[in-house]
Amino acid sequence: MGATLLTGLNQGLFWAVLAIGVYISFRLLDFADLTCEGSFAMGGMISAVLVTQSGYDPIVACVIAVLAGAAAGLVTGALNTLFRIPPILAGILTLTALTSVNLLISGAKASIGFLGFDLFYRWLGMSANYAQLVSGLMILAILIALIYWFFGTEMGSSIRATGMNERMSRAQGINTSAMKIVGLMLSNALIALSGALVAQRDGSATLTMGQGAIVIGLASVIIGETLVPSRRNFALALFGVVVGSVIYRIIYVVVIYAGLGTEYVKLITAVIVVIALCLPMIKANFAKLWKITDARLRAKNPKYAAYAAARDAKAEAKKLALREKRGAELASLADAFERAKIADDPKAMNARAAESGQGDGFVYMGKWQYKMLQDKYLRKKEKYVEKYGSKALAALESGNVEEAENA
């Protein structure tokens, strides 16, 4: 059973790369992209052909698969933005074309095996299961860090803004068509990478390996959002997607381990997805039921009412302390941003001011450092407004902390 759980964990880590790609297109970009299944199979096929027939290093094969996936996303994005084809139909058209592309890549072979060839995780020198586990964790850590950084940049923020409100983003001067294309390229690049990794991990790539990939990706996203509430924390949202993918694959392999035949695979997948889709509703109904039960217990049991009142007071105090902390952080960032000034040689300027003891009150920094500080300040400001409202922000910026806390 332990080996089965480890297998499910390993599978979940590599499928999590696909789930992150689906999360970017469906959640961040709000684009129902069905290219996923074709990109996934294409990534696996390219990896298999390059490693087994062309002698490429398996890691290089994964990189080429990423580029091919980005090209598939480019086609879907172009169909939607340039030719005004609806998102679902644009994805279906690209998926249909990729069916033939994958056949051409594989040389009309239904399956290509990796038996006897080097694979991406072998360099660790461990047993297969543990090498897959370590390499999967490393890949996800690097990808999540890069994605988190990218979506904090101006382009990444523009992609997110396009997904939230395309018309408003266009009014703000954002090229929403370009942002859609970039988002779809990134999404499908990750999906193709997942296909390459899964194919090498499973030992073969097949033309049908992408069937149901979109469903698996969406199920992973929904499970992750339900079990790991992100509360607008992007890093936590990405982590939740990984958790959802791992849980999905563990459930999947445990059910197979229980003795059900392969003919039940699609049925099991459908059942898991239905449960995942019902989780948000179950969670909401449970919260309502708890509120009703809590109110009744307060009315009937004085001891419980006293305990509940103390609990609520403690929670309120914790919430107020957190708000004060966030306000102080934002005020500190605002002060640092106001005193920041771009200079060609910031070290020399700061040193000169320190030596003379007669600085002008500015802290000099390079363009990149200034941009990072600006982005951080704007993100904190945006989160504060989302949480407490624009009135609270205005009061905080005017120096009225007490009014900000009561707004």
Higher pLDDT, 364 or 164: 164
Checking if the pLDDT of 12 tops 90, the result is yes
- 106-126 b/e (C-beta count within 10 Å ≥ 16 → b): beeeeebebeeeebbbeeeee
pLDDT value of residue 288: 93
Nearest CA to 65 out of 117, 9, 21 is that of 21
User: Encoding tokens for residue 334?
Assistant: 């605002």
- 360-376 b/e (C-beta count within 10 Å ≥ 16 → b): eeebbbeeeebeebeee
* Confidence band for 111, pLDDT divided at 50, 70 and 90: very high
Average pLDDT over residues 65-71: 97
- What phi, psi does 7 have (nearest 5°)? -60, -45
Collapsing DSSP to helix, strand or coil, 367 comes out as helix
* Confidence band for 334, pLDDT divided at 50, 70 and 90: confident
d(CA 23, CA 17): 10
Torsion of CA 258, 225, 145, 125, to 10 degrees: 0
* Confidence band for 99, pLDDT divided at 50, 70 and 90: very high
d(CA 257, CA 359): 71
d(CA 61, CA 46): 7
Nearest CA to 144 out of 248, 31, 237 is that of 237
d(CA 369, CA 246): 37
Q: How far are the Cα atoms of 256, 264, 351, 363, 376 from residue 347, in angstroms, in the given order?
A: 62, 66, 6, 10, 22
Among 226-235, 261-270, 344-353, where is mean pLDDT lowest? 344-353
In tens, the pLDDT along 199-211 reads 999 999 999 999 9
Among 137-146, 276-285, 289-298, where is mean pLDDT lowest? 276-285
d(CA 47, CA 40): 11
d(CA 248, CA 240): 12
pLDDT value of residue 358: 53
Per the rule left: phi > 0, alpha: psi between -120 and 50, beta: everything else, 273 is: alpha
Collapsing DSSP to helix, strand or coil, 364 comes out as strand
pLDDT value of residue 263: 77
pLDDT value of residue 273: 78
d(CA 194, CA 217): 11
pLDDT value of residue 71: 97
Note whether 76 and 91 are within 8 A (CB).
yes
Placement of tokens 């989780």 in the chain: 279
Q: What average pLDDT is seen over the chain?
A: 88
Single pTM value for the model: 0.79
Checking if the pLDDT of 362 tops 80, the result is no
Strand pairing of 204-206 and 111-113?
antiparallel
pLDDT value of residue 186: 97
